[in-house]
Amino acid sequence: MFAFRKRRGTTMTKIGIILGSTRPGRNGEAVARWVHEIAAQRTDAEFELVDLVDYKLPLLDEAYPPSMGQYAQPHTHAWAEKIASLDGFVIVTPEYNRSVPGALKNALDFLYAEWNNKAVGFVSYGGNGGTRAVEHLRGIAGELQMADVRSQVALSMFTDFENFSTFKPLDVQRDTLVTTLDQVIAWSSALAPLRAS
C-alpha cells in the first residue's frame, strides 16, 4: 500500500468519491457509502463523499467553454470550488443505456481545469457490472487530462445486489476496491507536481 502521510507544511492527498446518479431510490447511494466506509479506514489519504444531488447542476448553462474558466453561474462556482479542492477521484456510476448517466456527464462537462492532472478510478454497477459506462468515462477522463487507473470495481446487479436493490457485495469486491484506491492515491500523489505548476 502506498502512503502519502501528513507532514509539517504539507497536506494529505484528498480524494473525492463522486456519486454519479441523481435518480430517486438510486442504488448508487449504498455503493458510495460502502466505498467511503472502506476508504475512511485508510491513513494515506482523506476521503470525502461528493453527491451530485447536493450541487443541483442544471443542464450546462455557461456561455463560454469550460476550458476558458470564465464561469458566470453561482452553481458552477460552487461545483468548481469543490472539484478544485480535491486531488483525485473515485467515481461511482451506474450504466444507463450502455453509457454514462446524463447527470454525471453534465457534471463533468461543466468544468475543465479543475479536473486536470488528477487521478480517477471507477466503481460501477449494472447488469453487466457497469463496464460499458466506464469505457465511455475513460475517454472523457482523457479529454479532461485525468489519469484513469486500471483497476475497476464492477458490481453486478445479479450477484452483488439482492433482488436488484439491496446492496450485498461479494467479498472479492472489497479486495478490488482496495486495489483501486491504492492506484488512485498513488497516481494522485505522483501528479501533485503537475498540479502545483
What is the architecture of the domain spanning 14-192?
Answer: 3-Layer(aba) Sandwich (3.40)
- Give the model confidence (pLDDT) of 10-46 as tens digits: 589 999 999 999 999 999 999 999 999 999 999 999 9
pTM over 0.85: yes
Mean pLDDT within 77-103: 98
- Give the model confidence (pLDDT) of 170-190 as tens digits: 999 999 999 999 999 999 999
Residue 9 has pLDDT above 60, yes or no: no
3-state secondary structure labels for all residues of the chain? CCCCCCCCCCCCCEEEEEECCCCCCCCHHHHHHHHHHHHCCCCCCEEEEEEHHHHCCCCCCCCCCHHHCCCCCHHHHHHHHHHHCCCEEEEEEECECCECCHHHHHHHHCCCCCCCCCEEEEEEEECCCCHHHHHHHHHHHHHCCCEEEEEEEEEECCCCEECCCEECCCHHHHHHHHHHHHHHHHHHHHCHHHHHC
Within 13 Å of residue 193, how many CA atoms lie on the same side as its CB?
A: 1
Residue 105 has pLDDT above 50, yes or no: yes
Mean pLDDT within 74-82: 98
Please state, for a pLDDT cut of 90, what percent of the chain lies above it: 94
The packing angle between helices 131-143 and 102-109, to 10°, is: 10
State residue 1's pLDDT score: 33
Write down the domain spans for the chain: 14-192
State residue 11's pLDDT score: 81
